[in-house]
Chains A and B, each alone.
Chain A
Amino acid sequence: MNQPHIFHEIDNAMTGLKDKVLLMASLTRQNLERAIQALLTRDLDLSRMVIGDDSDVDDLEVKIDQQGMDILVRFHPVASDLRLVITSMKTAHNLERISDHAVTIAKRAKKICKSSEPLETTIIEPLYTMAEKLLRDALLAYTDTNTELGASLKSCDKVLDTAHKEVVALLSSRLENANGRAENLLHLILVARSLERIGDLAVNIGEDAVFLTEARDIRHSQLKESPDTGT
């Protein structure tokens, strides 16, 4: 646990920044959950809600960037303070993209809802479970500065990638005899792709959490040892 800054306004600014990231994370997870529910339960209203609420996430990303800039300009943070500002801004960017994928899922759900043809939407449920867990763990790694958890996400994402390929293969095989369901199956393939991408973005957040705590860049294995930071 870090000591407070002598100039308390720095602590207030840092806490404010982190709180905004947590609020954004909470809204993003809610959007994702609602988008999947809309798909599984064929709930048109819920789809519309997800699409509408995305602007709140977008607004928060802008506010986090502004506050990060303010902190850089006013306090010239260094070391762990600088890493917190950089990581928070990057996490906000990743969360905004995750929320965009939730919107993509909601839009596909809307189209599927409008079709009278039945569809096996539950096929993508395991992908959602994995993607949601990856996102939850990534955010835990950021809030609790849990580097072990942050670094472990890459291997979990590989499981999601494999499952994604299997689901896409299954849905593609059904396309041949889809008759009138072909369009909906394609929508479902795109939903699966969004979930796979959410896993990748969660990995990014986990990697940034490792940088936040240890100043170690694990994004690309060949750059594990950074000469600039001496790590």
Chain B
Amino acid sequence: MPDLLEKPVTAPTSTAAVEIRNVSFSYGSSQALKDITLDLKENEVTAFIGPSGCGKSTLLRCINRMNDEIIGTRITHGEILVEGINIHHPSVDVVKLRRDVGMVFQKSNPFPSSIFENVAFGLRMRGERNKTVIAQTVEESLKSAALWDEVKDRLQESALGLSGGQQQRLCIARTIAVKPLVVLMDEPCSALDPIATAKVEELIWNLKHDYTFVIVTHNMQQAARVSDRTAFFYMGELIEFSDTKRMFSNPRVRKTEEYITGRFG
């Protein structure tokens, strides 16, 4: 069983970075996901859309086993493969999995430490001790997150002093510093103003050449702008999954049409 952290993990068996196969998931007796199957392609942005409670965030959190932390929840059927590896295989280290499948949350959550240490944290956790390597990686990550020019002169200042948009980009820099395979984003712009939102979207667009993104969003325009493919969920079911342009110009399923045009009653 290859270590998910060792790169390259394996030569990809398909163009799908994540393969979700017939996944059903329950919170206790309540079924949140019903037989979901979809592939998340490498170097693409996939958007999950749907009304509240439809299961999109649940599925997102399944991909890096964040739901393991919630007592009484379980995948009742199916499997999820990251780069061809079943993430529930007993030999998979969950901590390493979460490094390879990073996550950016709705509310930015920088650590109460310096800007530099926020980005260096993952590297140190991975066992990196070389200060030059750490400094280089921090700089590269902040540059990739389009934050370097704004913080390069105050790297030792508290990250909590940054604006909301800067904090969210710092969290993205922190996530990509450990070079994940996949970046999961759960409504990353819901608390940001339009300028900060545009910067995050520009970031996603530029970084997708190196990473695979999955973004949960309630903002239809955001899904249309940044994603290559879109999945629409309703009551735990995957209703439609297709090319984003197709989804927003001519969806195949009537329920999708009703949802995206605001006719959902």
Which residues of A line the B interface, CB within 8 A? 2-7, 10, 76-83, 214-215, 228-231
| Partner pick for A215 among B242, B249, B263, CB 8 A cutoff | B249
Within 206-265 of B, Cβ neighbours of A (below 8 Å) are at: 220-221, 224, 242-243, 245-246, 248-251, 257-258, 260-265
Closest Cβ of chain A: how far from B216's Cβ, in Å?
A: 19
Which residues of B line the A interface, CB within 8 A? 220-221, 224, 242-243, 245-246, 248-251, 257-258, 260-265
Q: Tell me if A78 and B261 are in contact (CB < 8 A).
A: yes
Q: Tell me if A80 and B246 are in contact (CB < 8 A).
A: no
A79-B250, A79-B251, A231-B250 given as contacts; is B243 within 8 A of A3 (CB)?
no
Q: Tell me if A6 and B249 are in contact (CB < 8 A).
A: no
| Partner pick for A6 among B245, B250, B262, CB 8 A cutoff | B262
| Partner pick for B261 among A81, A214, A231, CB 8 A cutoff | A81
Given A4-B263, A7-B262, A79-B257, 4 more contacts at CB 8 Å? A78-B248, A79-B249, A79-B261, A80-B261
Q: Tell me if A215 and B262 are in contact (CB < 8 A).
A: no
Q: For the complex, give the distance between the alpha carbons of A70 and B258 in Å.
A: 22
Instruction: Among A5, A83, A229, A230, find the residue whose CB has the most chain B CB atoms closer than 10 A.
Output: A230
Which B residues are CB-close (under 8 A) to A229? 245-246, 249-250
Q: Tell me if A6 and B263 are in contact (CB < 8 A).
A: yes
Closest Cβ of chain A: how far from B7's Cβ, in Å?
A: 34
Which B residues are CB-close (under 8 A) to A10? 262
CB pairs A–B below 8 angstroms (27 shown):
A2-B261, A3-B265, A4-B263, A6-B262, A7-B262, A10-B262, A76-B221, A78-B224, A78-B260, A79-B248, A79-B249, A79-B251, A79-B257, A79-B260, A79-B261, A81-B261, A82-B248, A215-B249, A215-B250, A228-B245, A228-B246, A229-B246, A229-B249, A229-B250, A230-B242, A230-B250, A231-B250
* Closest A residue to B242 using CB positions: A230
